[in-house]
Structures are given as C-alpha cells and as structure tokens.
Amino acid sequence: MKNESLSHAQQVAAFKRLFEEHYGAIRNFLYYKTGDMAEAQDLAQEAFSQMWVKRDHIRQEQAKNYLYTTANNLFINAAKHQQVVLRFQNSPRVERFAQDPQFELEQKEFQQRLEHTIASLPEKQREVFLMNRIEKMTYQEIATSLNLSVKAVEKRMHQALIVLRKLSEKI
C-alpha cells in the first residue's frame, strides 16, 4: 500500500515535469490552429488528460509526439471551426521609435495586415510558420513533433512565405 502510493507520487511528479515542459507549446500549437485561446487551453488540458490515462503505455521519448498527435486529433474532432481570427501581443519595442507618431501609425497598420494575412493562411501552413517564428522551432523539430517529413515542413513554410509576400497587395 505504501509502495503503491509512493510510486503514484513519483508518477505524478514525473508527469508534472512533462506537463511543465510541454504544456505551453501544445497550448500555443492549438491556438495557432483555432485562434481561440480558451478553446486552445481546453484542448491542451484534454490532450494531457488522455496522456495521463495512458501514462503506463507511453515511453518518455514518445511523449512529445503523442501530445502533438492527440492535440491535432482533438482539434480535428472538435466542432467545425469558423474563420480564424488571431490576436497577438508584441514583445516590447525599441524605445527610440516610440516618439515618431508617423512611424507608430505605419507600424500599427503593418501589424494588422500581418495578423490578418497569417490568419488567412491555411491551418497547416499557419501552424508550421508560427511554430518556427514564435516557438523558434527548427524544421527538424517541427517535423518530428508533427510526424511530417522535413520536406513537407519546407513546402509549407515556402507556401506561407509566398502568401506573406503578397502582404502589401492586401488591404
């Protein structure tokens, strides 16, 4: 009995480390897909809950892949998604520009067009692009997480860049 509860405590501790390591990335991944932070949080919770149930059968090195796969399945199985609207916040800007109202305005407009264009990307391109840009993941890391070939990641990044290039043509 005592041993059992001890090993349970160890299991919880190990799972907590896993949770702390991956929760943020999985939640963000779901945000890139859904554009809805509340839903992203719910689905991320659900992904970890499913992993908790299956914890005895998942090896440490499979955990990350399992989480992304489960998150993706949960997203697909969730109700149909409406047009995604993404909102971002910016990291603090360099101060010297802050005084120039002309620059500020132009910057704000650019930002809006950028967010709009990113939101308009097909989901598969958007997630790969933002995993690279925001999560700072390498192509290899993205490929491993999503069970894709590096070639497929390359292709999606390439397609995303082609859309972004037309940013200035969009209003």
Partner 1 sequence: MNQPLPDHEILRLWLEGKGQAPEGLDPELLRAVEEAGKLDVPSTSSTDAAWERFMQENHIETPVEAVTRPLWKRYWAVAAALALVVSLGVIFLEPNNPQPQQIALTTLTTTNAEHTSIDLPDGSSVMVNAASHIEFDKENWETNREVHLEGEAYFDVEKGSTFKVLTSMGDVEVLGTRFNVYARKDGFEVACLSGKVKVTPESGSSSTFSILSPQQIFRASTQSAGAVTELGDKQAASWRKGEFSFDNTPLIEVIAVMERQYNVQIELDGISERVFFGNFTNDDLDEAFRLVTGPLGLKYVKLGDSKYRISGTD
Residues lying near partner 1 in the complex (CB under 8 A) are found at 2, 8-9, 12-13, 16, 19-20, 23-24, 27-28, 31, 37, 41, 44-45, 48-49, 52-54, 56-59, 62, 66, 69, 73, 76-77, 87-91, 110-111, 114-115, 117-118, 122-125, 129-130, 132-134, 136, 138-139, 147-149, 152, 154, 156-158, 161-162, 164-165, 167-168
Cα gap 85→119, rounded to integer Å = 6
Residue 105 or 167: the one with the smaller Cβ distance to partner 1 is 167
Cα gap 151→5, rounded to integer Å = 47
Residue 80 or 99: the one with the smaller Cβ distance to partner 1 is 80
Least distance (Å) between residue 102 CB and partner 1: 16
In sequence order, the 6+-apart residues with CB closer than 8 A to the CB of 152 are 143
**Would you say 26 and 44 are in contact if contact means Cβ atoms under 8 Å apart?**
yes
Least distance (Å) between residue 99 CB and partner 1: 19
Cα gap 1→161, rounded to integer Å = 58
Residue 151 DSSP SS3? helix
Residue 77 or 99: the one with the smaller Cβ distance to partner 1 is 77
DSSP structure class, residue 85 = -
